[in-house]
Chain A
C-alpha cells in the first residue's frame, strides 16, 4: 500500500506537469505550485547536503584526525560566510567581494590548469588511443576547429572557398545533432520508466 502511494505520487505529479504542456492556461496555477514546491524541496535538499558536509568536517576536527587543519579552514570559512551573509543586507558589496574574490581566482585557476592538461594530453592522444576511425576524425575535426578559430581563413562571400569552408564548419553539426537526439531519447525512456513506476529512484536501496 505504501509503495502504491509513493508510485502514485510520482506518477500523478509527473502527469500533471506533462498535461501542463498541452493545457498551459488551464493548469498554470497548479503547475506553478508544483514547480514551487519542487524548488523548495531541491533547496532543502541542498541545505541538508551542506549540513552533512559541515558535520563531516566537524567530526574530523573534533577527533583531530588527519587533515583536521584543513577541515577547520572549511568550518571557519563556512561560518564566516554564513555570518556575513545573514548579517549584511542581500545587495552588500562586501559580501559579493568576499564570495567572488575567492570563487573567481580558485575556479578560474582550476580551469586554467585544464589548458595545460589538455596540451599535455594532445601530445599523447594517439599514443593512448591508437589510430582508429574515431581518433582520426577527432584529430582532423579538432585541428580544423582550432584553425578556423584563428580567423585566418576568411574567403569572400559567394566564392567556392566560402561554400566549402561553411560545409567544413558545419560537418560536426551532424554528430552533435545525433548526440542531442540520443540524449533526448535516453531522457524520454528514463522519464517514462519513472512515471510508469518501472524505475523507482526514490526508494531506499537498503
Chain B
C-alpha cells in the first residue's frame, strides 16, 4: 500500500493528502512509500509499526530469493510492481527499496543519529551472534554425534513412525523440518515445546534486544546464502535443498542452525508497551523519512530568531535598568507570609545564646546575589541571638561564599565561625555527620572536628534540589530529631516543598518572593523586588503572547502526540 509518511511526525497519510492528518505539516514533495497492508495475514496490525517495517524488510529479502528462484510462492503485490518499475533496478541485483538502500548506506558511512543506532544494533547483533554460534555449534556437534550413534545402533526392525521419518528425508521440502523435530524431540524437548525459554535466557527484555533478534534472524538467511559455494550459482538460490542434497554434515549443520534460529525468531512474539511502541514508531518514521527534508529542524528564519532573541535580551535589560535606576524605592510588601516562611521566622526567633547552629553551604557562585537577598535577614537574626555557628560546605566555593556574604553584609566577624571543612559529595557529608561521634569518645579520630555539643539546628543554604535533598534524606533518615531549616534559591524551592509538607523540614524560604514575605522584615532591597516584579510581568506577557500566536500548527487531538 502506498502511503505518504509525514517528515515531521512520521504519521502515515493516504496517497494524495496535502497535509499530515496528525500534525498538519505539509506533505508536498514527499515520495510515497510502500508499506504492507494491515489486512495481510502476516501483518500484526496497527499496534506494531516497527514490526511491520522489519517484516517488510524481511519479506523483501524472501521475495527476492523467490523471484530469483524457479517459481515464487508469494506473488508480489501490484503496488510492489509499481515500486519495482519506478526504481528500475536491474534484475540481477536483489530488490532493495531506494529508501532502505540509502538508510543502509548512511548507517555504514555516517556517524549520525540513525547510523549510530544501526551501528549499535549491529554491534549488539554481532556480539549475540558470536555467543550463539559458539553455543549452537557445540550443541550441534553433540547432537550429530548422538544421532550418528543412534543410527548405528538402530536395530533392523524399527517402528513404522521412524521408518516414515527416514523416508521423508528423501523429499527435500520436508527434510529439515523432520530432522529438526526429531532432534528436538529427543535432545531438546524443552525448546521444542516452549520456545519462550530462549527468551528467559536473554537479559534485558528491551526493544533493542528484540530488534537485534529480528535482525539476527534476517542475517541468518543472508549468511546462509553467502555460505553457499560460489562456483555454483544455482545453489545459492535454494540453499536448504542444495544443502540437503549434498547430504554432508555441513549441510545438516546449515539446516539445523537455520531452524534453531528460526525458532528463536518465532518466539519473539512480545508485548510492547505504548511508550515503547511510540519510540519504535518514532524510530521507524525516522528511518522511513530519511531521504526527506526535515522542516522542523532546519529553521526557515534563523536570522529572525537570532534577532528576536537579541531584541528580547535588550528589552529585558533596558526595562530592568530603567526600573532599577529610575524606579521608586521604598515599597513595602503587605500580606500574609506563607506557613513555611512563618515557621522559619519562628525558629530563628526562638534561638538562644548557647544554641549550636550548623550552616551547610551548598550553593554556587551563580546564586550569590539571590542568596544574599534571602539569607541576610535570617543570618542576622542568628548572629544577633548569639548562637554558635559552624559552617560545612558541600559546594567547592561554599566557605568563600559564606565569608563573602558575611563581609558584604557586615553581619559578624567571620573568624568566630568554625569551618568544618568541605565534603565533595553531599550525601557522604550528611551520613558522616550523622554518624560522627563526639571528639574523644571513640577511636580512630576523625578528620572532622565537631563542637562539643550536638547541633540544635541545621540550616542548609542551597541552590539546587539534588544537593539539599541528599542532606535532608541522610540527616532525617539517621537523626530525625535534628530540625532542618532551608534557605533556597527560587529554582530549588518547588521540588523541596514536599519535604516541608511532610514535616521533615522545620521551615523554609525559597526565593525573593518568600523572603519579602517575612513578617516585619525590610532587609530585602525594595528596588530589587520592584525590578523582579517587572521582570515577572514581562514573562507573563511573553507566555500569553506565545499562547496567542502558536504558529500554523493545528491543535493536536486528545492524544496530544506527546508520547
Contact = CB atoms under 8 A, between A and B. Distances in A.
B432 A115 contact: no
B366 A123 contact: no
Contact of A130 (B313, B443, B533, B560): B560
Interface in A135-157: 135, 139, 142-143, 146-151, 154, 157
B202 interface: no
A143 B550 contact: no
Interface stretch (B47-55, B147-155, B255-263, B536-544): B536-544
A113 B317 CA distance: 11
A108 B550 CA distance: 32
B404 interface: yes
B533 A150 contact: yes
Given A96-B403, A100-B404, A139-B547, A122 B366 contact: no
Contacts of B404: 96, 100
A191 to B, nearest CB: 11
Label chain A's interface by main secondary structure.
helix
Label chain B's interface by main secondary structure.
helix
Contacts, number: 177
Contacts of A186: none
Interface stretch (A24-32, A51-59, A62-70, A72-80): A24-32
B404 to A, nearest CB: 6
Interface residues of A, number: 66
Q: How large is the interface on B (under 10, 10 to 19, 20 to 34, 35 or more residues)?
A: 35 or more
Interface string B403-439: 1100000000001000000011100110110111100
Interface stretch (B84-92, B129-137, B329-337, B520-528): B329-337
Interface in B288-312: 308-309, 312
Contacts of A21: 477-478
Contacts of B401: 100
A123 B25 CA distance: 20
Given A116-B309, A173-B497, A176-B498, A132 B556 contact: yes
Contacts of A115: 316, 535
A121 to B, nearest CB: 9
A14 interface: no
Given A32-B446, A108-B366, 14 more contacts: A29-B443, A38-B425, A39-B423, A96-B400, A100-B368, A104-B368, A119-B538, A122-B543, A122-B546, A123-B546, A129-B562, A132-B560, A176-B494, A180-B498
Interface of A: 17, 20-21, 24, 27-29, 31-33, 35-36, 38-39, 42-43, 46, 91, 96, 99-100, 103-104, 107-108, 110-111, 113, 115-120, 122-127, 129-135, 139, 142-143, 146-151, 154, 157, 169-170, 172-173, 176-177, 179-180
